Structure 1
Amino acid sequence: MTSRSASGRAVLQARELFLEGGSALDGAVRDEIRASWLRSRQHSIGAEHVQATYVERADPQTLLRDSAMSVLRDVAQEIANEPVALLLTDPHGVVLDRVCGDRGLTQHLDRAQLSLGFTYAESSVGTNGIGTAIETRSPTLVTGGEHFVGDLCQFGCAGVPIVHPLTSALVGLLDLTSWARDTNPMLLGYARATARRIQDRMVERTSLSEVTLVREYLWTCQHAGGSVLALNGELTMMNAHLQQTFDAADQTTLLACVADVSEARRTATVIADLPSGQVVRLGYRPTFTEQNAFAGGIVQIKPQVATRTHEPRHVPAVRLPGVVGASPTWERVCQKVLDSQRRSEWLVLEGEPGVGKLTLLTGAHRAAHPTGHLRVLDAADAYDIDVWLDEVAEELDAQPNTGTLILRRVHLLPESAVSSLAGMLLECQGNTGIATQPWVTMTMPSAAHSATIDAELLPHFPHTIAVPALRHHMDDLPRLVAHLLGQISRDSRLALSDDAMNQFMRLPWHGNVKQLRKVLTEAARQRRTGIIGVDDLPPECRSVNRRRLTTMEALERDAIVDALDTHDGNKDLAAEALGMSRATIYRKIKGFGIRSR
């Protein structure tokens, strides 16, 4: 006990010396702890109090949590009378689950923000058993004064990374936390054993899921025929019929369309316009193991209508003022919106944020009535709901009224306002004929419906049109880039290099046209004339990652890109500047899909 106390005092003394700006005493702390302290200092972590980042919606890591649930329950029973907490995190250190039977320890963990939703990455709270184990990708014991932040010196933490059994990708971490005075190397041994039990369950579940998906895929190919696609988070299969029927560009579009429903637990149908001109229907159905675990999805692809390559070529393209795009997918939407305007049929436009819903409606109005009255009322600006509703009423009551009223982001309205709006729309439709009614339109995200909107508002609108995400009509990207650059740089000519355009074509564009405009605006600040190259693009465009990054991941990616730019692509120097190991920065460059110089 005396030896342990002396060792603890030496570590605390080394920590104080380090925090004062010196180096840790030689031999007083382990090399891995000293390296972590250096990284924590570079992250500008406060040394006294925990200020963990909170993530409102952490990545659920379904395979990890499903596999860990029973293990955590069993281990919790085994240590029910011990002051030990079991914690499960995602690969970024966000706490997904915590089990602790000791009330006193639980209270102190809450004060240290070591609870659900908080991030214990090194970049958030400095050296600790979770973040340091994730950083080094190796089992790590951090106890007492080895922690960088003073609030954590009362704890001992043993973290063990958990990797995917097929891809070896880091999927999460198992951590055991106790009081520092009770911590010894056995805590790390027990954490290793628990993590192995979780990984064994993952192997069972993964193997079963893959077998189930392959079996369903083969059965569908043999009995249904035609083009078949099967996929889950780790596996994608296409049958020979699909590969022979669709070229590489069509296959890319098919995968992008399916990606939006590939995690769904219920059947879905998607209509896709392919670059080749074909229009197909994608019938998706989920598959489950005998234990009712989600295994992936099967997609059957069938022609929807005759291909556009056989349509008369004299059909004029739809042109709406201010609206850019000539792909079959986009032109079809434009035509539907314009037809609705010409018939004065009230319309709802749905789609992801930034896809151009307001631009489409404004363009349709200007195409039909270039000088007609147009009013946009955005629910996001309705600081006083009664005033906003009064403005809607004034537009509906104006006589005669053949203008356009766009009710934007109505999903943000409270239920009472939705009911009031529905009453005004009903009164307008009852008191006037179609010829004297305004063209009333609404916009909202695809997945933001409330029961009140569905029941009270939508019945007043004969049509709902879905505006496709940018990733579903990527052949319009070059036109959009040229159009937006013309708006951004009015007094000079700017263009995108072929290399930069190729990079744009690889990106998922989760923020759609709004994100594209933001990216081009940032690039134009770097180069105001001439050709914009890949090196002029902001960090978010220098990596290719099909999933949406968390805020912390995006910050980390941007820091790596900036460090690589600063050191002319030298990964070793960039790693040293960031306080990362050479292996870590290589892994993160690959994981983020960063394209360096």
Structure 2
Amino acid sequence: MSDEVRQVRQELMRVGLLGDVRTDGVVPDLIVRSWRRSISMRADGANPAQRCTEIDTDSILRRAADPVLDRWQSHLADTGTTLFLSDRSGAIVARRASDGTARRRLDRVHAAEGFDYSEDSIGTNGLGTSMVEKRALLISGSQHYNDALATLACAAAPVCTPSGSVIGSISLGGPIESANPLMLSLTREIGQQIEERLRSSARPQDLALAMSFTRFTNSQRPTVVMDSESILANTPGLPYIDVTSHVMLWELLNSHDWTAARTLRLQPDGTTVEVLARRVIDGTRTHFVLHFADLEPVMSRAVDASPDSGIRSSIVTTDAQGTPSVVVVEGPAGSGRATRAQSLRPARPSGHRFEEIVVNPSQATAWDAAQELLRNGTDVLLRRAENIPEADAEHAAALLREHLAASIAGQRSSALMVTADRDRCCVSVSNVLDEIGYAASTQPLSATPERIPALVKRVLDRVDPTGRHTMSPAALQSFVQWGWPGNLTELVQTLATVVKQVPTSVIERRHLPRHLQQAPPRRHLTLLEAAERDAIIKALDAASGNKSEAAALLGIGRTTLYRRLRLLGLDTGETSL
């Protein structure tokens, strides 16, 4: 039979993927499907498997599978069979051989820990093909795509998480002479025992996520199910979520008022992605189901020009060639006004002259120097116009109006950018800025927490140019929860200090200043919750962070304390990026 099977495979390779090959019942359809995939992926049909990168010996899969594999290894002693466990990538992460002879035989074909047995790499084989087909199967002899495996037979089954996603595969293999249909039943049983351990080790909230994932997901629509700590995503949903977007979306959704409706449609700032969110409540726990859709790039919408909006208009004044000549960005100090203004600066060749002038109430502003810079073609950023006194308002107005008129007349190509907190500007300065119009408006970080994860990453890149430090999700959550009364300036100073003080590569919540570690969740706390939160903080301080001692001081059980810590935003559990 082996020769007949090999001949069919060779004929398929000769005629190509579109060719028709008669199997005459010699080769099962699923094997032919796998051969076709192997050919299309240019899998290696002759050489032994290649070594992967280092395997994770402490993964969730290994922790669940190791006791099961150990138990079955003793049951299968002297049978000549070997147990293999692969992760979802097809890498063998565990092997339990019955004797030394079996180990040496398997080592010769690289059927060992650390080698790649994905279908893409080595073609049709039990570990890889069972995950692709998502079913248990038996592959024997020349049914393997790789000739190095032609003397072996293996039964394999995928291993799935409680949500139904494939996390790896389990295989029972041995010499072709040992091939037996009972191997398939045993493999299924071993796989089910591993899956049961995965279920029993899962947290209740993880099981709730898994149930929602099974209920709301499909193979086509990008879908993510998440709570404050965990994420489940289907393959189309993976590009839309990472640690930063997870923290940002959780804060947006958790602080939203859901009393009006159970669904919310939103478009995160700076993206062309629409998110349809649904809140799911399981007991006292809340999680969200998110569906993503790409939108066509949209033009900036007209901005609210009502007196209370903080934005008068959305105008970039241009010169005769249509190049922005005056750009005014409005917002409170420290909210990223200067960065936004520079992003609106017209495109310039490298090395184009640029100067910043900061208005300081205790010093005279060099208005004549600013005029001269603009006349000579230098771009100027005038920062903190709210500090211009009424006595200097005439100079500021002259600078703006003269530059605007000269630009429109084609006499200047330079750009003037201005940042201002309109509510704090003197009347004369406010009037001239209203006359010119506002190109953009920035808001305080307390009003836009969804900006914080991306800002943290950007600032971290600036204050830590070597890229040595990363931030744990728990620490990032603290940054999002804090109110940042000093806005971006405070955030930059905090990160710069933390980077200097933390010796390890991962910044964890315990490394942050105390006020950040204890930042309350953005949702409104009741008076009782606020009092309870203060009491827990005091107890933890008195117990030097020991939760068992703190629980005793509070007169509650440790499990109750952990639950209240999570609910009140005091959970300090860490997971490094």
TM (norm. structure 2) is 0.40
